[in-house]
Amino acid sequence: MAQYFSILLVVITLGTGLVWALDKFLWAPKRRAALAKAEQSAGGELDENSREKMLAHPGWVESCRGAFPVIAVVLILRSFLYEPFQIPSGSMMPTLLVGDFILVEKFAYGLKDPVLGKTVIPTGQPKRGDIIVFKYPEDTSVDFIKRVVGLPGDKIIYRNKHLYIQPACKEGEKTCPDPQEVTSVDKGKGEFYLGNFPLDRRTESLGKVKHDILLNYAFPDRVSDYKRQPGLPAGEWIVPKDEYFAMGDNRDNSRDSRFWGFVPKANLVGKAVFIWMSFDMDRGQDSWLPSWVPTGVRFGRIGPIH
């Protein structure tokens, strides 16, 4: 849907821009020439009302002239700088909650044309710990948001709710480091639930990035559903070149790379950087409000995303 909106925005910008250009360089000069000819025929005297009528823009042209600069600015901002997204699910809890509205930095990993999505100017690569928005590999019309865990060449192991990473060997190294468990610190449970089960909250470190994750130790890992990579046991993956391994912070309520594979570089949309608004969507069982109506505003959540 977002891609269709981008195409529609480009079409409208081109259409209104064409009308603006035709009016500025063709139609308006013709109106002025017609006015000059009429004034000459009238002996140099035309009343103000007649002058205004001859110089007036048609209504539809005036609308396009007014809309073009606004739409052009929106297109530039949305396509190359920042795009707003809404968090629809709890897969990134506790970092991102349902009802959060975020800004995604579109230029973080390359400037792309807004129609085909091809990178025009490369600007950077995802880092381990980045929260990325990307086109879901199994349906590119859908946008997903997850955290980058594995970079190209990394070996990822997820076993018994423990995450291990073996970074890719650097050029010239004869031996690669052994897989290391990603350190995490227990922060207790009880603030977040999966059904009736309280979730364990832990602080995890991915390089220099520290963030909280949620685990449900009463819920077994769905190893049988994991995407198997040829030559490796279930729960182990080696990230291919120009692809990334992404996981949700809510580890037992996230459909991520463990289940469908890797995120191609070409699918990257941008980096989530800021929560600009957050609506509380929680409601009691007896609430008469529709599910899409917020019950409050969480001003304390507005700010940078880590």
Q: Which of 97, 98, 99, 165 is nearest to 129 (CA)?
A: 165
Q: Is the distance from CB of 249 to CB of 147 less than 8 angstroms?
A: yes
Separation of alpha carbons 247 and 136, rounded Å: 13
Residue in this structure with the two tokens 């089960």, named with its chain if needed:
197
- 141 catalytic, yes or no? no
- 146 catalytic, yes or no? yes
Q: Is the distance from CB of 12 to CB of 71 less than 8 angstroms?
A: yes
Catalytic residue among 106, 112, 135, 146: 146
**Amino acid identity at 297:** V
Strand spans (E) along the chain: 82-86, 100-105, 111-112, 119-121, 131-135, 143-150, 155-159, 162-166, 180-181, 184-194, 197-206, 209-215, 236-238, 243-247, 263-264, 268-280, 296-297, 303-304
| Tokens representing residue 55 in the block | 């110089």
Separation of alpha carbons 214 and 188, rounded Å: 10
Q: Is the distance from CB of 1 to CB of 136 less than 8 angstroms?
A: no
Query: Using alpha carbons only, how large is the chain's radius of gyration in Å?
Result: 27
Catalytic residue among 6, 79, 91, 184: 91
> For 260-263, which contacts have Cβ atoms below 8 Å and span 24 or more sequence positions?
260/136, 260/137, 260/138, 260/227, 261/137, 261/227, 262/137, 262/237, 263/132, 263/134, 263/137, 263/146
Separation of alpha carbons 83 and 77, rounded Å: 7
Q: What residues act catalytically?
A: 91, 146
